[in-house]
């Protein structure tokens, strides 16, 4: 069968409602023009083909309720049929990972191995999958992120006002996150707080790498050892700040890198005799308040079966 190009083939005029008030126009367009490469979105903005209230705007312009946006015709290549089938299957599986859903937000137990959004060679991620599951939802945005190989609690806002509220909780450190991880080594119970500053670097390959540097950003993670298995430990990590790869790098800095973490544990292949393809880091618990409500909501995500299996194996070996 011959593929034909997908088209947003007519000029569109959109009026901005309250749900999109305050959103950057580039992010709005990326959400609306699904399948259009980000580079194309930024190009039509740069060229002035997108108009707000008949005027040119920059990518960082924040939309106001009542704004009228002119979106030009955009032509994109069709998606690959096999990828569509794979996407459909994975989207259906994701439905069973939803922990709770209200009119304002959604909590997901994100599977390990799935990125939170498309990009870097990935055709789709969690947010694209959820938008496919909820085609009538006008607004679905990630509140925070998890690494591709990290599982557990992921919060998605369904209203812009709630996204703003959740971001304020993150900024003021009022949203609490608890992770479980298996690390290599006997964790020192006296080492319950790491404050090493973190600096994000980009390798020539484009891969991100974070290191402890004196000129890095202030970072803090609190740790608690839950169980020892001889040469391994099960720990709880409670990040106070939210830096890229923070738990992984702080655990390495404390002398106990995550089991199977090939990026931050140079001996991971030698030490990993448990058949792991990646590290085990699970966002087990997330707690927060809602606007104008002091009651703290607490959500927990079940451990992935692989992590349960490894803990059971380690228990048997250590007994």
Residues 6+ apart with CB under 8 A from 134: 140
Residue with tokens 């973190």: 198
Q: What is the 8-class DSSP label of residue 254?
A: T
Question: What is the Cα–Cα distance from 45 to 49, expressed in whole angstroms?
Answer: 6
Question: What is the Cα–Cα distance from 166 to 153, expressed in whole angstroms?
Answer: 14
Question: What is the Cα–Cα distance from 182 to 83, expressed in whole angstroms?
Answer: 33
Q: What is the 8-class DSSP label of residue 97?
A: T
Of 19, 26, 67, 147, catalytic: 147
- Nearest Cα residue to 283 out of 145, 155, 179, 147: 179
Active site residue 147: yes
Q: Which two structure tokens, joined as six digits, stand for 122?
A: 């990935």
Q: What is the 8-class DSSP label of residue 240?
A: S
Which positions are annotated as active-site residues?
A: 147
């Amino acid at each position: 069968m011959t593929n034909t190009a997908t088209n947003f083939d007519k000029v569109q005029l959109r009026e901005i409602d309250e749900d999109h008030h305050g959103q950057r126009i580039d992010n709005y367009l990326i959400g609306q023009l699904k399948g259009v490469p980000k580079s194309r979105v930024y190009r039509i903005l740069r060229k002035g083909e997108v108009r707000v209230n008949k005027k040119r705007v920059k990518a960082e312009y924040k939309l106001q309720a009542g704004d009228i946006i002119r979106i030009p015709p955009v032509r994109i290549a069709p998606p690959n049929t096999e990828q569509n089938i794979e996407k459909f299957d994975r989207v259906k599986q994701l439905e069973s990972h939803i922990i709770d859903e209200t009119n304002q937000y959604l909590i997901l137990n994100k599977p390990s191995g799935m990125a939170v959004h498309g990009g870097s060679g990935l055709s789709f991620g969690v947010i694209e999958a959820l938008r496919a599951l909820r085609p009538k939802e006008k607004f679905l945005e990630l509140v925070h992120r998890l690494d591709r190989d990290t599982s557990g609690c992921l919060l998605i806002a369904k209203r812009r006002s709630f996204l703003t509220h959740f971001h304020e909780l993150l900024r003021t450190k009022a949203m609490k996150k608890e992770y479980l991880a298996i690390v290599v080594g006997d964790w020192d119970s006296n080492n319950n707080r790491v404050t090493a500053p973190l600096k994000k670097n980009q390798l020539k390959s484009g891969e991100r790498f974070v290191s402890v540097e004196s000129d890095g950003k202030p970072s803090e993670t609190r740790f608690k050892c839950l169980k020892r298995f001889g040469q391994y430990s099960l720990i709880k990590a409670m990040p106070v700040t939210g830096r890229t790869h923070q738990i992984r790098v702080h655990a390495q800095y404390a002398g106990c890198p995550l089991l199977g973490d090939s990026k931050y544990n140079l001996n991971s292949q030698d030490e990993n005799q448990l058949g792991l393809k990646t590290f085990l880091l699970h966002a087990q618990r997330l707690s927060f308040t809602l606007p104008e409500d002091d009651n703290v909501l607490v959500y927990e995500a079940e451990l992935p079966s692989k992590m349960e299996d490894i803990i059971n194996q380690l228990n048997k070996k250590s007994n």
